[in-house]
Structure 1
């Protein structure tokens, strides 16, 4: 049985402030099922505005909001102070239509959600330049769990998060079997939906095989040539598929950090999953950590994605990379923020490690830290 506990979202407060204080359109991106609709509906309930919630599956709304007919759009929103369009990427020409509506009725509050940045960005970016505030909602972050649980309880949940990820519904389910079944259904129902809709991909089976290969290579540099050879596709097609998977919030890339030194590797990327439950369902492995051989990869993916969530929600912009030399020296993660460069080594065990000599020699002003089970909460919170 699901345990129905509302987990407050860290984006609620800043989005609420924007809605109250700004006349710009709010756009909220994020994977399917991470709680975008729930967040917006709960927000709307706390605001004094008369709101129109548009379901983009209903044809009457689609025809009005894609028709570039200001008179019809004015009729639609007459008497309302706030317009909420859920899954806005489904509406053709949504960007230009929102521009027309916003320019004609600047006092109307507008918030739109989308589960694929590709479609919504393509259809809004150019038309809405300077008219939007954009946010990205992730699966539940450690920072959001921290609002309800102390450090001890978070430590107790670590294995669960590494095995089953942090989708809101996954966290609400009480046992491992239910979590695994939910993730299987979620991955088959949603994982490729946006990607297949976004591009005319003929080989859905190859898309799944590609994801499975990427799931096995978390924490390693990915060769597009090798993936292409394995899948019988060109390197460029593989790159296009990965790009689409990024725009549907399934995976994201880290590039190699380099100041253009010959000894530094920077041509191949590492690829991580937005959610470890999705990663584990692709390789069909939900085993306990003490029975696994991929704990290091899970730990690395967990720390990288949780750090990305932390930075995004705190409004801290950072360029993020990994670092490796041809001689084998490496750092799992590198951040460049506010002029400061810091390298990190990730250890699931409580071992300590020294910074590689070549890192210190090449970047004497850079910081270095080892992130393990003793200090990861301060790194992520």
Structure 2
């Protein structure tokens, strides 16, 4: 166990606590069992190390372990944690739990047997707690960490530092949200950069190699992480990548299952399930008609990439502008709100508000008869009658 404690100390010493993801302040750190899931590259490990550093505990009191460490190929998590607890352990931060066989059962045992031990763990976005054998859902608080919002991107790059705003603030008739921005703020100055480079925090380290790294990340998710999905045969990883390329070449689009099956070499009876797998991996987003029950797998009305950066990663030329706008909107708004496909307009949010997304010349013609309908316009800073698209990147 000593080698694990030494690795933890080294990692904690190197981590900076100057900039934190929005989720850091929303987590109830006092809870005995906390789970944080999200796609690779969104900053889950950094979140754990920052909290551990701020606790200022001795290595024997608080430690960080990655469960894909070679140590755990020959050592039991429960037995190692038991030793840690007996030597004064109070906080156990576990990373990459989905890479440890039967991880949920082991964590349940630790939770039940050591009531004075606080456990925080992270795992891939593909984790479905409700299906895990350990039945952790009644014992824990679960959080999901998305990529950077536009607001966070500005802050992490030392450009501007603003507080998040709510959807209610954005839609308010008095437009008080405008008061939070200084007169010299130019919201579009870095907007295109965000669409291409801003969603994953590692762009701050290496903007030049970002596209290559993002493509490698997608491969790792499909070929490595998705092996943990129940019902997914890892031998079909190549077909999954083909499907993702088909989606990327056409999004946003209303899927024709037969055509997708032909282009991706996937049996048409499996296409919907595979689309669902890609959504679980936070690589795409599926939009369903309002009022549709998702208890069983349904064919979506529209398919989007998970975020605009992926559009650049998969495109051989500049991505379609309309695609980028809608992908940006759904990626930012879906973090805190439910989105469905409406009969009129582009998006129905929380089953109440309808949004039509377009360029600066977009009119309200398509949603004139819709109650609570709003036009969201790109390429404008502070429009009078419309809502600026960039502003929806300040929701978290």
TM-score by length of 2: 0.76
Task: Provide the residue aligned with 1:118 in structure 2.
Answer: 127
Give ranges in structure 2 of 5+ residues lacking alignment: 1-15, 161-180, 381-387
Task: Provide the residue aligned with 1:281 in structure 2.
Answer: 313
Task: Provide the residue aligned with 1:61 in structure 2.
Answer: 72
Encode CA deviations 1:156-196: one digit per residue, 9 max, x unaligned. 11112223342111244354xx3333323333344432124
Give ranges in structure 1 of 5+ residues lacking alignment: 261-265, 312-317, 325-329, 361-365
Tell me, what secondary structure is at the counterpart of 2:234?
coil
Encode CA deviations 1:2-60: one digit per residue, 9 max, x unaligned. xx996421011122xx22x322x111101111111011101111114421211212354
Task: Provide the residue aligned with 2:275 in structure 1.
Answer: 242
How far, CA to CA, are the matches of 1:174 and 1:379 in structure 2? Answer: 24
Alignment of 1:74-89 (within 5 A): 74-78=82-86, 79-89=88-98
Tell me, what secondary structure is at the counterpart of 1:110?
strand
Q: Does 1:97 align with 2:106?
A: yes
Identify which of 339, 345, 360 aligns with 1:331. 345
Residue 6 and residue 121 in structure 1: after superposition, are their counterparts in 2 closer, same or farther (change >3 A)? farther
Q: Does 1:321 align with 2:352?
A: no
Alignment of 1:300-311 (within 5 A): 300-309=326-335, 311=336
Task: Provide the residue aligned with 2:177 in structure 1.
Answer: none
Task: Provide the residue aligned with 2:249 in structure 1.
Answer: 216
Task: Provide the residue aligned with 1:127 in structure 2.
Answer: 135
How far, CA to CA, are the matches of 1:205 and 1:106 in structure 2? Answer: 44
How far, CA to CA, are the matches of 1:116 and 1:351 in structure 2? Answer: 36
Offset of residue 123 of structure 1: 3.2
Q: Structure 1: which 4+ aligned runs deviate by more than 6 Å?
A: none
> Quick check: 1:320–1:334 contact (8 Å CA) kept in 2?
yes
Task: Provide the residue aligned with 1:156 in structure 2.
Answer: 189
Task: Provide the residue aligned with 2:391 in structure 1.
Answer: 378
Residue 40 and residue 182 in structure 1: after superposition, are their counterparts in 2 closer, same or farther (change >3 A)? same
How far, CA to CA, are the matches of 2:189 and 2:76 in structure 1? Answer: 48
How far, CA to CA, are the matches of 2:363 and 2:205 in structure 1? Answer: 35
Identify which of 354, 362, 369 aligns with 2:374. 369
> Quick check: 2:272–2:299 contact (8 Å CA) kept in 1?
no
Q: Does 1:231 align with 2:278?
A: no
The RMSD of aligned alpha carbons is 2.8
* Count of residues in correspondence between the two structures: 336
Tell me, what secondary structure is at the counterpart of 1:173?
coil
How far, CA to CA, are the matches of 2:118 and 2:227 in structure 1? Answer: 32
Residue 128 and residue 60 in structure 1: after superposition, are their counterparts in 2 closer, same or farther (change >3 A)? same
Residue 267 and residue 83 in structure 1: after superposition, are their counterparts in 2 closer, same or farther (change >3 A)? closer
Encode CA deviations 1:227-272: one digit per residue, 9 max, x unaligned. 1133333223112222221222212211022599xxxxx9643222
How far, CA to CA, are the matches of 1:61 and 1:205 in structure 2? Answer: 29
Residue 186 and residue 154 in structure 1: after superposition, are their counterparts in 2 closer, same or farther (change >3 A)? farther
How far, CA to CA, are the matches of 1:32 and 1:267 in structure 2? Answer: 26
Identify which of 201, 215, 231 aligns with 1:168. 201
Residue 192 and residue 275 in structure 1: after superposition, are their counterparts in 2 closer, same or farther (change >3 A)? farther
TM-score by length of 1: 0.78
